[in-house]
Amino acid sequence: MFQKTAGFRVFFWISLVCIGGFIFLPLLWMVNTALKPQAETFTMGFFNTVSLENIKSIVTNGTIMTYLKNSLIVSFASSFMATLVCTLAAYSFSKFRYTGRKLIMGAFMMSQAFPQAILLLSIYVLMQKTGLLGSYGALLISYVVFTLPVGTWTLKSYFDQLPDALIESAKIDGAGNLRIMGQIILPMAIPGMISVAIYGFVWSWNDLLYSMTLVTDSAKRTLASGLVMTYLGEASTNWGAMMAASIVSAIPVTIIFVFLQRYFIQGLTAGAVKG
How far CA 154 is from CA of 60, 205, 248, in Å, comes to 41, 20, 32
**Window 17 to 36, contacts with another protein (CB under 8 A):** 19-20, 22-24, 26-27, 29-30
Among candidates 156, 165, 145, which has minimal Cα distance to 192?
156
Residue with Cβ nearer another protein (50 or 275): 275
Contacts of 154 (CB under 8 A, 6+ apart): 86, 90, 192, 195, 196, 199, 268, 271, 272
CB of 76 to another protein, least distance (A): 4
CB of 59 to another protein, least distance (A): 16
Q: Assess 97 for contact with another protein (CB under 8 A).
A: yes
Q: Assess 227 for contact with another protein (CB under 8 A).
A: yes
Q: Which of 62, 165, 173, 187 binds another protein (CB under 8 A)?
A: 187
Q: Which of 10, 45, 52, 128 binds another protein (CB under 8 A)?
A: 128
Q: Which of 73, 161, 162, 184 binds another protein (CB under 8 A)?
A: 73
Q: Assess 125 for contact with another protein (CB under 8 A).
A: yes
Residue with Cβ nearer another protein (65 or 80): 80
Cβ(58)–Cβ(77) below 8 Å:
no
Q: Is 192 exposed, middle or buried (0-12, 13-18, 19+ CB in 10 A)?
A: buried
**Window 137 to 176, contacts with another protein (CB under 8 A):** 137-138, 140-142, 144-145, 148, 150, 152, 176
CB of 78 to another protein, least distance (A): 8
Give me the helix-helix angle, 101-111 and 62-95, nearest 10°: 150
CB of 213 to another protein, least distance (A): 7
Cβ(90)–Cβ(158) below 8 Å:
yes
Residue with Cβ nearer another protein (55 or 224): 224
Q: Which of 40, 53, 132, 173 binds another protein (CB under 8 A)?
A: 132
H runs (alpha helix) in the chain: 6-34, 53-59, 62-95, 101-111, 116-130, 136-161, 164-172, 177-179, 186-188, 190-206, 209-214, 223-231, 239-274
Residue with Cβ nearer another protein (49 or 236): 236
How far apart are alpha carbons 135 and 52 in whole angstroms? 34
Q: Which of 61, 66, 161, 266 binds another protein (CB under 8 A)?
A: 266
Q: Assess 242 for contact with another protein (CB under 8 A).
A: yes
Q: Assess 76 for contact with another protein (CB under 8 A).
A: yes
Residues in the chain: 275
Q: Assess 193 for contact with another protein (CB under 8 A).
A: yes
Residue with Cβ nearer another protein (51 or 257): 257
Cβ(140)–Cβ(215) below 8 Å:
no
